[in-house]
Each structure stands twice: as structure tokens, then as C-alpha cells.
Amino acid sequence: MLLVVAAVWGNVLLPLKMYPVLVNVAMLAVFSYSLAAPPSMVERFARMREPNLPDVAIAYTRRVTQIWCAFFVVNGAIAFVTAMWASDAIWSIYTGVVSYLLMGLLFGIEFLFRLRFKRRHHV
């Protein structure tokens, strides 16, 4: 809401263009905090389906949480750069399409690795 007020007050789009940056910062904060104060975010998701995770799976979910943190850093940085210095069209394409495709790609790759991990470790 504050971003909308700033955009209207200043008659500029930049505050609204910062919304995807702030979302990535928030997600990074939540996922990073879960690394400092376990269980990790991905472990929490995994335990919804499998309450009794073996130690090897806990280590795996921690690593996946770290990968998501790296994704949020890179994605947020690109969203920031496009908001500040790219055209509105480039910003819209990246934050409205490309970032979601990259997120889906990361999720899909992790899903395939998870299947392989489960087969290897009989989880």
C-alpha cells in the first residue's frame, strides 16, 4: 500500500516497480531465517507430507533452501536492475514472465533431483 501511495503522490512508477524486489527480499529473509533457526523452510514443507524425515533428507532440504535463497538474491537483483535502468517493457517481461518461468524451472529441476535422491537413499 505504501508503494501505491508513493507512486500516486510522486506521479512515478518506480515505487510500484520495486514491488517484485521487495517480494524477493521478503522471501530471502524468511528462507534465510529458517536456515539460522531450523527447521529450514523446505524441510517444513517436506514434513507436511512426510513427518519423519531421515537425517539425510534433512540435509537435502537444507541445501535446497540455500539454493532458493540464491535464487531470491539473483532474481531480486535482476528485478532491481530492470526497475532502475531498463525500459518499462523489459521490466514487465522479466518480472511478469521470465522470473516466473525461472522459478518454475528451478522447481521442476529440484523435483527431478528429489525423485533421484529418494531412489538413491530409499526415502
| b/e per residue 96-118 (b: at least 16 CB within 10 A) | eeebeeeeeebeeebeeebeeee
Task: Please give the pLDDT value at position 15.
Answer: 84
Amino acid (1-letter code) at residue 112: L
Task: Please give the pLDDT value at position 12.
Answer: 63
Provide the grid cell at 99.
522470473
pLDDT digits (tens, 9 = 90+) for 35-48: 999 999 999 999 99
Q: What span, in angstroms and rounded, lies between the C-alpha atoms of 31 and 119?
A: 27
Contacts of residue 121, defined as CB under 8 A and 6 or more positions apart, other chains included, come to 54, 56, 57
pTM of the shown model = 0.90
Q: What are the residue ranges in the chain where pLDDT is below 50?
A: none
Task: Please give the pLDDT value at position 43.
Answer: 97
